[in-house]
Amino acid sequence: MNRLIRNTWTCLCLLLTTQCLVACWEDDVLPPEDTQTAATVTLTQDGNEHQIVYNGFEALKDKPVTVYYNIPSSGDMTKMPVLFIFPGEDRSAKEHMALFTDWARRQKVMLFAFEFPTAYYPTTTEYILGGMNTRQSSEGLTAKEKWNFNYVESFFKSVQQFTKTTQTTFDMWGHSAGAQFVHRFCTFMEDTHVNRAIAANSGWYTMPDADLSFPYGYKEVTDVDWSHQLPKVFAQKLYIQLGGADTSTEGLNNTTGAMSQGSTRLERGQHYFTTSRNTASRKNLPFNWSITIVPNIGHYASGMAQAAMDTLNY
């Protein structure tokens, strides 16, 4: 009888343990004990890949982000530049960071790649719009205090606190969906520490245009002071990098707003840059953007990452 009770109890424990593990795997999140807040972030400087689950932004603490990072094993961490990386639609942050690892080791650059887990950010739209909306619509916009963009600034402050870095700014690079996140971060975030931002092969854009409805313009975004923000948008160092062979239309946004920017990513990127430059000129505002077309490169993160490394070159 005692043996039967013990065996039954053991089976129940194993069943419960298995169910808990499956739940964690299915949700694509790490257990709570692996989550780090702004006050508890610790980073390892050994030249290897690490990851943390970060919930240091109070307004979204129930929707943490996963950050992969690599800090070169040699060199003074307090003096290393900081590069934030944003992957494409598949959220493969680790793989995108790996494209920069050898270069970062030589250049002594700290790498941090952001993954917005589908468990908390299930739609591509929620990712590429920085949480401003969960659908491509001007209705139901989220208050700026709850934009996903805020996680970037929050995490940078945590990096500053832990590393005691002398760096007061960070650079950012995004490819495809990540480029959509990057250029909108630069458009809508009013107080940032970004130095250089590279948007590579974005599928479509939010134009700096008050006459166009969101998400193709900023007409309905009223909680941003555009009298101050628009000059800052044009004055920042934003690099539009486009693959010269990125002309496939497969999987592209084909809404009227997106098609008005062009029929391919290459056309849309050129339209975004040229139209923005013309707007800045018309308003007599300084314009510090640049555009690069990378020959013979299609919609591939690896080729565009190399172009970014050539541009950054610390």
d(CA 38, CA 60): 12
**pLDDT, tens digit, for every residue of 8-65?**
444 444 333 333 333 332 333 333 445 677 667 789 999 999 999 999 999 999 999 9
pTM assigned to the model = 0.88
| Interval 240-252 mean pLDDT | 97
Longest dimension (CA), the chain: 88
Rounded Cα distance between 190 and 175, Å, is 22
Per-residue model confidence as pLDDT tens digits over 277-301 = 999 999 999 999 999 999 999 999 9
Report d(CA 171, CA 217) in Å as an integer: 25
Among candidates 186, 199, 188, 197, which has minimal Cα distance to 265?
199
Q: Over the chain, what is the mean pLDDT?
A: 90
Answer yes or no: is pLDDT of 212 > 50: yes
pLDDT of amino acid 139: 76
Helix runs in 173-314, H state only: 177-188, 226-235, 256-259, 265-282, 301-312
Instruction: Give the per-residue pLDDT at 156.
Output: 97
Is there a contact between 238 and 183 (Cβ–Cβ < 8 Å)?
yes
E strand segments, the chain: 35-36, 50-54, 65-70, 82-86, 110-115, 170-175, 194-200, 237-243, 290-294
pLDDT at 125: 94
Tokens of 258: 């997106």
Q: Where do the domains of the chain lie, and which CATH numbers do they carry?
A: 48-312 (3.40.50.1820)
Q: In Å, what is the CA distance from 218 to each residue of 10, 163, 208, 209, 268?
A: 59, 37, 7, 6, 18
- For the cut 60, the answer to whether the pLDDT of residue 104 exceeds it is yes
